[in-house]
Amino acid sequence: MSASSSRLDAGGIINRDETLKFQFDGKSYEGHPGDSLASALLANNVKIVGRGFKYHRPRGVMSAGQEEGGAILTVGTGARREPNVKATMQPLYSGLESFGQNAWPSVARDFGRVNDIGSRFLGAGFYYKTFFGVRGGTKDWMLFEKIIRKAAGMGTASREPDPAHYETAHTSCDVLVVGSGPAGLAAATQAAEAGLDVVVAEQDFTLGGDYLSQPDGAHRAVEAVAKVESLGVSVMLRTQVFGLYDGCVAGLIESVTDQETGMQVRQRMWIVRPRQIIIATGAIERPIAFGNNDRPGIMGSAGLRTYLNRYAIKPGQEAVIATTNDSGYATAADLKASGAQVTLLDARTHGPDAPEGVEVLRGRVPVKGEGWSELQGLQIGKLSESGEVSVEKSIGCDLAAVSGGWSPVVNLTSHRGVKPVWSEEMDCFLPGETKEPIKVCGSAAGLWDEEECRLSGAAAAAEAARDLGVNAPVIERPEPRRTNTPTMALYEVTLPGKKLKSFVDPQHDVTTGDIRLAHQEGFVSVEHMKRYTTLGMATDQGKVGNVIGIALMAAATGAPVSKTGTTTFRPPYSPISIGAIAGRSVKQHFRPNRLTPLDAWNKKHNAVMTQAGLWWRPWYYPITPTESVDDAYEREMKITRESVGLCDVSSLGKIMVQGPDAGEFLNRLYVNGFGKLAVGKARYGVMLRDDGIVYDDGTTWRLSENDFLMTTTTANAAGVMAKLEEYLQTRWPELKVSVASVSDQWAGIAVAGPKSRDVLEAVTTECDLSNEAFPFMGIREGVIAGKKVYLARISFSGERAYEVYVRSGDAEPVADALWGATEPLGGCLYGTEALGAMRVEKGHVAGSELDGRTTLEDLGLGKMASSKKAYIGKALATREGLHDADRRQLVGIIPTGDGKRLRAGALLMADTEQQGHGEGEITAVTYSVELGHWIGLGLIKGGVERWDGKTAISADPVRDGNTEVRIVSPHFLDPKGERMHG
């Protein structure tokens, strides 16, 4: 052992043949495969690895597990910088770069330590009080703000996008075992021997749990693991079960690699559906609150034992171990064996025999850590029978380890709403009973003896097997019980009349004084106390200080711990990255991309695409590389109105409605009649919701007596389909109607403009296109490019127009044929921008007016409602409020000044003074080439009847300011519809 290394010459589960170089705060160090970042730092004698959150006191490694409150580091740089990494859980890898947090300029020399001296300002509720200006806080705030701002919070995440890949996976199994310690591996073995499909999830990067902390641990862990693997158990390493959910579903995060290459994923989220869950999550050692118990050099006794045996590290030469239970003796023995000088303080007067060479001081407790930056000694005290402490002496030491008893990890059952139960006898919370197929075993169930843990694991697995109807032996489950030398309930060491800075939650700098302050200020419920003091919040999730905090609150209120209760544990057990939750659903995979059958064709014709819901649709088709969207849509609408244009309308919802009662069904759905619609005709229909508000519109075509093709808006296609199914399956089971979505099966191309008939005549066979044979709203079959098509003479643009529907697979040849006839006539392709512009000119309503608030009357469609029949929404549409004279109704809008543009989203005001939400709003605008100025649609109180010809103010304070507009009829062009009928 060299002077700069505390690594022992032999032992441990590390590969000494290989060296890994890594960095901490810019300095280079070496470790070995098998090391955690924390063990590698300890091996290099790096004592200070972080700074406290509020007081900036130096912090060292405090544990060897998930409960770490000191060695919380930032790992990685640039886009890969990850803050708040528990160094104890981070496997070392070559090239790892790590940084201390909460410190400037460095953890070793941190200016913020001034907070520690000024700490009377920073107690529980500090922020609340400061902001409310009590205690002259404002002045203090000014003084400390800069330092506190720099210090507040933990590490900082990268602001760059996370370059790593993640994914989500699903699996199921018979039994999921959480944890691979003695209990978990025994459970997995027993379950696998019963023939069950078993998965073991272990959060650590080495299997074996508590086995690994023992002197002969490596060997025993390897044996136990070999056994489960030979039985075909799936073992998942570095996989944390972060939550249990309804229906026996477990959420797991697997850390696949820290140095992924190519498309390799960094982390994988697993959604596991086991039939039985066995929780073998073990227990976490509790600290004892005493003065300066956060000094670097003071750590948990179990953690120290892990460093000794698993990592072959002796972090000090002269050590004091303070314990309230038997587990401190094992650590003392192992530490002594490593050659250190060891004094063991046992708070109890009776305990096991002293380990060889270890001086045991019984009835003695730690009072105060000594030394400014690193531990130099421990003041110890004598505990009287009545519980009072008197200072006895100081012992010089560079290492202290503390065991205040054990807390079973009850988080996962708590996720299921099962409250942990305080056991006075065991001095810990035990998991509550659940009726779900969840069994808890080992130390998680309050068993401290290794053999009992194994037995309880096997018993839980056998029980799980029998619950699944599989033969398994009956094994009696050991119950938690008090031994001859039980744990002493000691949470805090106080000195009468002396103030000690004793930390309950070092991660959040919560002291015993903060708990008492919270009580004094009335925050007596543990849930309130937690939020007021921040005890056990954020990345800690109640692992370290919870029990002490609750016990101190119980002492302050005079109630027993069992009546004081505990905070609710919620997923995740420890923090998980958001990237892992998002999985592959990022960037272009965030949501599905729906492409029309003409997508490639559109792009071949230079379409600029835009997303409408999930659909990608042509926005406009620039004829030069620099043509702007405004220039393009004006050109497209002009050409379409003057000659002819083609538009891909494939995204419209299309639903086949078939059966003897199809006509009756449509009659009930639409406000207007469909029962008597002639075969070969289409009709525009509007449907309402149950509450009388307009839901959707579209044309529905009668193809034969019992076959209708309904079209819906693009946006509501899925919703309308679900509604039709609901009505048929739940409300009107007597109707013999079948519905099928055919949106993807048919491509649709609108052929619009005065020359649309010429285009079709050039390419269509087997169809008479004359106005007499094929009038407005007619539906005909025909053939284009050898493909069967439906032709519908319907018009959204207001021009003479047709829609051609063709099987999706035949869309391209038909589009080619239509374009082949359109181009020579000077026609164009047009996109959604021109489509929307032309509908505004016609005053047709669309999504921005069908906003879930408008009635038929509001939209000027009141006359469509049939008085001869009942339909969905009719009854509630009669409600008084839906006929109020002040309702916002559809109007047309034009600017009063020449050349002024309008803005969709602007509010309409009665005069220049803005009043609340005004009288209405502009819903859609366009420049009208034919009219030579901007036009808009909008909704305004009282509608055309109240406003026709009057002026209003279009208020758009964040863009153009105020514009004077005139309210007119929404039908700007060809109000009688002569063009489309001709």
Partner 1 sequence: MIIIPCPFCGDRDHSEFSYGGDATVKYPALDASAEEWYNAVYLRKNPRGAHTEYWHHVGGCRSWLVVERDTLTHEISSAKYAHDGYGDSA
- In DSSP notation, 276-316 reads EEEE---EEE---B-BTTTSTTEEEHHHHHHHHHTS-B---
Q: Of 497 and 592, which has the nearer Cβ to partner 1?
A: 592
Q: Is-contact 756 774, C-beta < 8 A? A: no
Rounded alpha-carbon distances, angstroms, from residue 176 to 201, 238, 461, 833: 7, 15, 10, 55
Nearest CA to 162 out of 247, 239, 228, 260 is that of 260
- Closer of 370 and 691 to partner 1 (Cβ): 691
CB atoms within 10 A of CB 968: 19
| CA nearest to 11, candidates 300, 344, 339 | 339
Query: How many angstroms separate the CA atoms of 552 and 619, rounded?
Result: 66
Nearest 5°: the CA angle 411, 414, 416 is 125
Q: Please report how close the Cβ of residue 678 comes to partner 1 at its closest, in angstroms.
A: 24
Nearer to partner 1 by C-beta: 273 or 477?
A: 273
Q: What are the helix (H) ranges across 472-545?
A: 512-520, 526-533
Whether 671 contacts 865, CB under 8 Å: yes
Minimum Å gap between C-beta 381 and partner 1 is: 50
Quote the least distance from Cβ 691 to partner 1, whole Å: 6
CA distances (Å), origin 373, targets 102, 356, 659: 16, 32, 85
Q: Which one, 507 or 672, has the nearer CB to partner 1?
A: 672
Least distance (Å) between residue 686 CB and partner 1? 16
Nearer to partner 1, 386 or 867 (CB): 867
- Between residues 498 and 883, which has the closer beta carbon with respect to partner 1? 883
Residue closer to partner 1 (CB basis): 216 or 734: 734
Number of Cβ within a 10 Å radius of residue 95: 10
Which spans of this chain sit near partner 1 (rule: CB under 8 A)? 245-247, 249, 271, 273, 668, 690-691, 722, 725-726, 728-731, 733, 736, 870-872, 874-876, 878-879
* Least distance between partner 1 and beta carbon 867 (Å): 12
CA 460 to the chain's CA centroid: 33
The least CB distance from residue 645 to partner 1, in Å, is 36
Cβ proximity of 969 and 843 under 8 Å: yes
Distance, in Å, from the CA atom of 114 to the CA atom of 748, rounded to the nearest integer, reads 72
Report the residue number, 66 or 667, with the smaller CB distance to partner 1. 667
Q: Tell me the closest approach of the beta carbon of residue 621 to partner 1, in angstroms.
A: 35
* Nearest to partner 1 of 309, 414 (CB atom): 414
Q: How many residues does the chain have?
A: 982
Smallest distance from partner 1 to CB 255, Å: 23
**Beta bridge pairs of residue 36:** 91
Nearest-approach distance from CB 660 to partner 1, in angstroms: 10
Nearer to partner 1, 573 or 621 (CB): 573
Least gap, CB of 733 to partner 1 (angstroms): 5
Write down the least CB distance from residue 704 to partner 1, Å. Answer: 20
If the CB atoms of residues 507 and 741 are measured against partner 1, the closer one turns out to be 741
Is the separation of the CB atoms in 111 and 102 below 8 Å?
no
Q: Within 10 A of 211 (CB to CB), how many other CB atoms are there?
A: 25
Q: Which of residues 109 and 584 has its CB atom nearest to partner 1 in the complex?
A: 584
CB burial of residue 36 (10 Å; 0-12, 13-18, 19+): buried
- CA distances from residue 390 to 351, 363, 492, 679 in whole angstroms, order as listed: 21, 11, 14, 102
Instruction: Dig out the tokens for 293 from the structure.
Output: 């118990």
Secondary structure (3-state) at 442: helix
Closest contact distance (angstroms) between CB of 654 and partner 1 is 16
> Which contiguous run of DSSP H or E holds residue 780?
strand 779-784
The rounded distance, in Å, linking the Cα atoms of 388 and 323 is 17
Rg (C-alpha) for the chain, rounded Å, is: 38
Instruction: Identify the CA nearest to 892 among candidates 854, 856, 940.
Output: 940
Cβ 15 vs Cβ 33: under 8 Å: yes
Nearer to partner 1, 659 or 680 (CB): 659
Shortest Cβ 544–partner 1 spacing (Å): 30
Tokens of 903: 């803005």
Q: Which is nearer to partner 1, 426 or 671 (CB)?
A: 671
Nearest C-alpha neighbor of 888 from the set 914, 935, 855: 855
The least CB distance from residue 582 to partner 1, in Å, is 16
